[in-house]
Structure 1
């Protein structure tokens, strides 16, 4: 996005040099440029906020796992102490009863932690099933849906989304995007980050400087389609591009390049909102 903003002054100068625009037209161009700069700052701020929310969600699950491990370790130590006490018969009945109570309390705590993690895993599965339910068999080849630590990732292939070598949305993408928009609209309190990614092959377009530009323009195209065609509130949307620098496969193979050329739609709900997902299917 920042590179795209830096390109605008060059385009303005070129326009002035070749067309000799009037002062009024130049002033309008300058006004548009200033607005785009302000919009860019707002987008980057929202992108940073979404990243922070994602990190908080990851931290909570990691903390639960650490608490489970610590509680299990404590329970094991208490059990060992009780076994030694019973075997050596060196302590009175009061101490034995106390150890038994501590073990029982520790066991309940471990079960509570495991139940919390299991509930989180179950909710993730419910949400994944809801998201994929409306997709056809053909669409599932170009759409990958995952729920990882409370965050929904919908990965869309470039072959399905865009015209070849372009950032324009293709006609065949309409059906899938409409279903994605339905998901986003149903859960209206969630933030949505649209993130463009490319392989490492340099782009060869006169109007696109590099893969940073291409990935950002593609993400922006999806954001604008969600807003204008499917009426998603633009205040919830953020467009970002990561170019070739976030690969999920090896770029040395054609299959790897295909996987890396993708657009991810990242939906970040608040943790307590997951409870409302059970029993709320996505309509086709």
Structure 2
């Protein structure tokens, strides 16, 4: 631009000697007009260059965003595939647990069915009209509780003849179910007992249990199904504070135990499977 101005000035000087003052003034005005146009073009050029640089920067940023979005999309597809796989595995796991729970419920239902059938059979055979004989279920265990006065004379472990009629009914039920076991529990009151050869209430409770077991053996009950047990006075039904209450606590419990090991084994196995699944 400086060169243009210098040339213009030189031309003006050269022309000033050759042209009139009016012509010189016109030429000067035209020169100024050209300078203004040049300045305007220069401003516009600089503005375009700045806009180009800004546009290039935005284009670079957009390209980086596009690259990031493509990478995100690829990662999202991978995660979606993994998520679908995880959902499928979760559904399979839920199905397996539902099946295990169903098997567990079946095992418990079979156990409850056996218990119910046993209670019905015992109540029918032994009878429930006598208040001194109780057939019941306690914590899933079926038992017959027989008052002491039906089985023994006071302070004795010899079974009465009246008791043998009741025990014959019990034997009939046990004999009809060879897969059952029969545990005989002797219970006393808390009055100290010592009569040779017995030392205390422990001896008395156990001796009464074995006396009943011998009667059941004589009624053809398989000895391998029988279990002798004595509880002394440590599991009372009521407080031993009156003669009537002590009479209630002197009793024999005949506990009927179905051999349903296969059910318990199944339950235990399914419980372990559930724990392992969790």
TM-score w.r.t. structure 2 length? 0.54
Whole-Å separation in 1 of the counterparts to 2:103 and 2:223: 40
- C-alpha distance in 2 between matches for 1:191 and 1:102: 39
How far apart are the structure 2 equivalents of 1:96 and 1:212?
A: 62
The aligned residue for residue 239 of structure 1 is 228
State the match for 1:173 in structure 2. Answer: 163
Residue 93 to residue 238, structure 1, CA distance change in 2 (3 Å): closer
Secondary structure at 1:156's aligned position in 2? strand
CA distance in 1, matches of 2:181, 2:170: 14
1:184: how far off?
1.9
Q: Secondary structure of 2:207's match? A: helix
- Where does residue 36 of structure 2 map in the other structure? none
Q: Superposition RMSD on alpha carbons, in Å?
A: 3.2
Runs of 4+ in 1 over 4 A off after TM superposition: 89-94, 204-209, 253-256
Query: Which protein, 1 or 2, shows the higher relative CO under an 8 Å CA cutoff with sep ≥ 6?
Result: 1
Q: Which residue of 1 aligns with 2:93?
A: 102
Q: Give matches, 1:124-203, under 5 Å.
A: 124-139=115-130, 141-146=132-137, 148-149=139-140, 151-203=141-193
* Count of matched residue pairs: 184
Q: Distance in 1 between the 2:210 and 2:194 partners?
A: 20
Rg larger in 1 or in 2? Answer: 2
1:1-284 correspondence runs (5 A): 92-139=83-130, 141-146=132-137, 148-149=139-140, 151-203=141-193, 208-228=198-218, 230-254=219-243, 256-271=245-260
Q: Distance in 1 between matches of 2:248 and 2:185?
A: 14
TM-score under structure 1 normalisation? 0.53
CA deviation after TM superposition for structure 1 residue 107, in Å: 2.5
Structure 1: stretches of 5+ with no match in the other structure? 1-88, 275-284
Compute the displacement of 1:133 (Å): 1.6
Query: Aligned residue for 1:66?
Result: none
